[in-house]
Amino acid sequence: MTHMHVAGSIHADTLTPAPKWLQVPADVNRLETKLWSSTVRRGEDGVLRVGRVAVTEIAEQVGTPAYVIDEVDFRARARAYADAFAGWDVYYAGKSFLAAGVVGWVAEEGLCLDVCSGNELIVALAGGMDPARIGLHGNNKSVAELELAVDSGVGRIIVDSLTEIDRLAEICAQRQKRAKVLVRVTAGVEAHTHEYIATAHEDQKFGLSISGGQALAALRRCAENPHLDLRGIHSHIGSQIFETAGFEVAIRRTLELHKQLAEDTSVTLPELDLGGGFGIAYTSADTPRSPEYLAGALQSLVARECRGLEIEMPHLSIEPGRAISGPPGMALYTVGTVKQVEVAPEAFRCYVSVDGGMSDNIRPALYGSEYSATVADRRSEAGPMLCRVVGKHCESGDILVRDEFLPADIAPGDLIAVPAAGAYSRSMASNYNHALRPPVVSVRDGKVRTLIRRETLADLLGLDPGVDLANLPAVERNDR
Ligand SMILES: *Cc1c(COP(=O)(O)O)cnc(C)c1O
């Protein structure tokens, strides 16, 4: 974050105009291929098109901010994971973005689906997902959520604590049912990612520790219960991970645990789930691995470990979320103000304020995540200018794109597109400052389809019994 310095307290030569990873573009109109979904083009008129629909048309139809998902690209990424990981089960992590309309894409491309709450489960079922192909996560599932999972025949329940194991066993006993479970463990891996999205180190809320012995105790407790069908171990080491070193450690420790259980109890676990977290390109500095590379690397790591431990290969699964839903999505905003802020003597930063912000993409504020942006409704002949794209919320940390070169003639009314915004944007959106959460549309072959409509003022204010809905002032669709 930029602090206002007293004049003279910072020297111009100590200011870095742009971070090292960000190249000055030769042409501000050029789209960097790896950041955009496969059908995105800039037309002769300068307007971005996705799925053969002009983004100006989408903005006209549904207003801004809005999220646009390229269906062809989403399906292609899902299919690429299913193909590369043939013989595995690939669970799409629905928490990254879930709507009933995408559940069919996931199922049709051959994937399973994992959900993190009863309400996500309801959407998965409403979208037509075969319950046997759904996994339910969560470190504090309620009795009602567990009952819904058991009653609807969810294929895997990933248990996260001893309390939950007993709770689930009791629910199954009442119903004379048997639930298929995986035990979520922490493998003690330090994933090289932000603390809040690293999930395999010891001091956090998820899972049961291998090194502390709780994981083995949980496996034994499940194995001994007639109402639980213990299928295997689950490990998810974190998110936005590019290297396989963390998976290597997790694979070794989970398979050692698998072997120890077999030796102690003669229970051989048939499955191992390695979780998700495969990184994507949010900026030009990110270099994601292909599904083929990941499949080859993970498969050979598991095979090597199994040979070393002299155990049979379990059936494997993974849970990519952002790698499927992130790159197909872009966020569209309209520029409201452009302001040059003097951050040091003779040094300015250009703040471009748009009509959304941390309520529709919390990731920069929450994790310091970087994004990219381009002007989407025209071509510009102006040179590149380093900008910071910020929202309209009452926080200085309300940043959407910390550093990006936009054309120097950027002006109010311009449409801005942020690529790789399909994951963890709408799904983490809030009503901060009474913002109305934006719609999500999908595009394909020139057609626009609503996946989630824009929240209305009546949706939001209907929650407040002190507001008279009959007497709302006329509020423009775009005005929040
Ligand atoms: C969040 C999560 C995922 C997906 O993470 P991505 O970074 O979106 O791939 C997979 N499994 C579990 C258990 C998760 O919590």
Tell me whether residue 320 is annotated as binding. yes
Q: Residue 278 CA: which ligand 1 atom is closest?
A: 9
3-state DSSP call for residue 462? coil
Give the closest residue to 295 by CA, choosing from 30, 54, 81: 81
Give the closest residue to 335 by CA, choosing from 264, 400, 432: 400
Instruction: Give the angle 55-61-65 at the CA atoms, nearest 5°.
Output: 65
Written as one string, the DSSP assignment of 187-204 is -----SS-GGGB-SSSSS
Tell me whether residue 453 is annotated as binding. no
Q: Which of 74, 95, 369 to mutate to test the pocket of ligand 1 (most atoms within 8 A of CB)?
A: 95
The reply to whether ligand 1 has any atom less than 6 angstroms from the CB of 328 is no
3-state DSSP call for residue 140? coil
Q: Is 350 a catalytic residue?
A: no
HSE value, Cβ hemisphere, 13 Å, CA-based, for 467: 11
d(CA 103, CA 91): 12
Q: Are strands 399-407 and 415-418 parallel, antiparallel or unpaired?
A: unpaired
Q: Which long-range contacts (CB under 8 A, 24 or more apart) does 103-108 make?
A: 103/127, 103/128, 103/129, 104/128, 105/71, 105/74, 105/75, 105/78, 106/78, 107/133, 108/75
The reply to whether ligand 1 has any atom less than 6 angstroms from the CB of 236 is yes
d(CA 327, CA 439): 18
Residue identified by tokens 């629909």 is: 53
For the chain, 480 residues long, give each residue's pLDDT as a single digit of tens: 333 333 334 444 444 579 999 999 999 999 999 999 999 999 999 999 999 999 999 999 999 999 999 999 999 999 999 999 999 999 999 999 999 999 999 999 999 999 999 999 999 999 999 999 999 999 999 999 999 999 999 999 999 999 999 999 999 999 999 999 999 999 988 766 666 667 667 788 999 999 999 999 999 999 999 999 999 999 999 999 999 999 999 999 999 999 999 999 999 999 999 999 999 999 999 999 999 999 999 999 999 999 999 999 999 999 999 999 999 999 999 999 999 999 988 889 999 999 999 999 999 999 999 999 999 999 999 999 999 999 999 999 999 999 999 999 999 999 999 999 999 999 999 999 999 999 999 999 999 999 999 999 999 999 999 999 888 776 654 443
Q: Which sequence spans correspond to the domains of the chain?
A: 33-69+328-451, 87-326
The reply to whether ligand 1 has any atom less than 6 angstroms from the CB of 327 is no
User: Treating both helix axes as pointing N-terminal to C-terminal, what angle do 214-224 and 245-265 enclose, rounded to 10 degrees?
Assistant: 50
Cis peptide before 65 (omega within 30 of 0): yes
d(CA 378, CA 45): 7
Report whether 277 contacts 96 (CB < 8 A): no
State in Å: Cα 320 to ligand 1 middle: 6
| Main-chain phi, psi angles of 330, to 5 degrees | -125, 155
3-state DSSP call for residue 158? strand
Other Cβ atoms within 10 Å of 268 Cβ, number: 13
Other Cβ atoms within 10 Å of 7 Cβ, number: 10
The matching CATH number, chosen from 3.40.50.620, 3.20.20.10, 3.30.70.2740, 3.40.50.720, for 87-326 is 3.20.20.10
Residue identified by tokens 């949980």 is: 218
List Cα–Cα distances, 394 to 179, 358, 390, 391, 454, in angstroms: 47, 10, 11, 9, 22
State in Å: Cα 239 to ligand 1 middle: 6
- Look up the CATH superfamily of 33-69+328-451: Lyase, Ornithine Decarboxylase; Chain A, domain 1 (2.40.37.10)
Q: Which of 74, 96, 134, 426 to mutate to test the pocket of ligand 1 (most atoms within 8 A of CB)?
A: 96
